[in-house]
Amino acid sequence: MTYRTLDAAAILATCERLSARIDERFPESGLSNVARELLELSRESRRRIDDIRKPVWPVRIGAGIVLVLIAAIAIGVAATAKMPSTRIELFSLLQFAETAINDMIFLGVAIFFLLTVEARLKRRKALRALHQLRSIAHVIDMHQLTKDPEQLLSTGMTTSSSPERMLSRFELARYLDYCSEMLSIVSKIAALYLQYLDDALVLGAANDIQNLTSGLSSKIWQKIMIVDGVVPPERDPS
């Protein structure tokens, strides 16, 4: 067992346990539904990452066949080309060289495109998954948004449009802590894509998610510190 890389199976197991804990503490709640959705995303991400780590043989074989055809055509053209033999024909050498340079440029672009098809397909799959992770991070933030520690300090100050605040001090602390844990899992899943796909766009997207979840988690922990300072903690083993 190595501790130098993230383990997708361990992250999935942590997410499964967290989803069970939330469902036991807040059954049939919105947060429990989000936890189950995050669990499903974790499973999908593990399957996607397994696919990303595998070579896409149809793409590689197709690109290889096209490259062989291009090489054969280039060799055939070079073999049938005739060098100018008279002084007058030398004037067409510049035009021939210009055409050859243009053909080499287009050939290089075609080869580069074929060699990077697989990487671009994997990049697209990873970016699509990272977009979903970014969205669920915002959903988690929306669920903790109305969980204000002020409800423990000032009661009877609500209006008709105020959200229902039925959580005790302990339940509020657990709710906020669960949100922070889910954000941490989102960040770790994003890091998995970066671990197995060396791509600048994936790196940028994964770093954005990690910065996002870190900032959201910091706000949550500010609330948790306020809750801890309001009333002495209640004893509960869960």
Could you give the CA distance from residue 211 to residue 231 in angstroms, rounded to a whole number? 32
Higher pLDDT, 222 or 75: 222
Q: In this predicted model, what pLDDT tens digit does every residue of 98-157 receive, in sequence order?
A: 666 776 777 777 777 777 788 888 999 999 999 999 999 999 999 888 887 776 666 556
| The total number of residues written for the chain in this structure | 238
Q: In this predicted model, what pLDDT tens digit does every residue of 29-51 receive, in sequence order?
A: 899 999 999 999 999 999 999 88
Pick from 133, 137, 136: nearest CA to 205: 133
- Token pair 């067992």 in the structure block, residue: 1
What is the average pLDDT score of the chain? 82
- What's the confidence (pLDDT) of residue 117? 83
Q: How confident is the model at residue 225 (pLDDT cuts 50, 70, 90)?
A: confident
- What's the confidence (pLDDT) of residue 233? 52
Q: How confident is the model at residue 73 (pLDDT cuts 50, 70, 90)?
A: confident
Q: Six-digit token pair at 47?
A: 């399957």
Cα 142 from chain centroid? Answer: 20
Could you give the CA distance from residue 168 to residue 235 in angstroms, rounded to a whole number? 13
- With the CA atoms of 213, 217, 219 and 222 taken in that order, what torsion angle do they form, in degrees rounded to the nearest 10? -170
Pick from 202, 5, 50: nearest CA to 42: 50
Return the exposure string of 178-195: e unless at least 16 CB atoms fall within 10 Å of the residue's CB, then b: bbbbbbebbbbbbbbbbe
Overall pTM > 0.85: no
- What's the confidence (pLDDT) of residue 82? 60
Q: Is the pLDDT of residue 218 over 60?
A: yes
- What's the confidence (pLDDT) of residue 1? 52
Could you give the CA distance from residue 207 to residue 213 in angstroms, rounded to a whole number? 10
Q: Is the pLDDT of residue 192 over 80?
A: yes
Q: How confident is the model at residue 88 (pLDDT cuts 50, 70, 90)?
A: very low
Pick from 216, 222, 214, 213: nearest CA to 150: 222
Q: Quick one: how many helices (H) and strands (E) in the chain?
A: 7, 0
- What's the confidence (pLDDT) of residue 154? 61
Q: Is the pLDDT of residue 228 over 90?
A: no
Q: Six-digit token pair at 171?
A: 């339940």
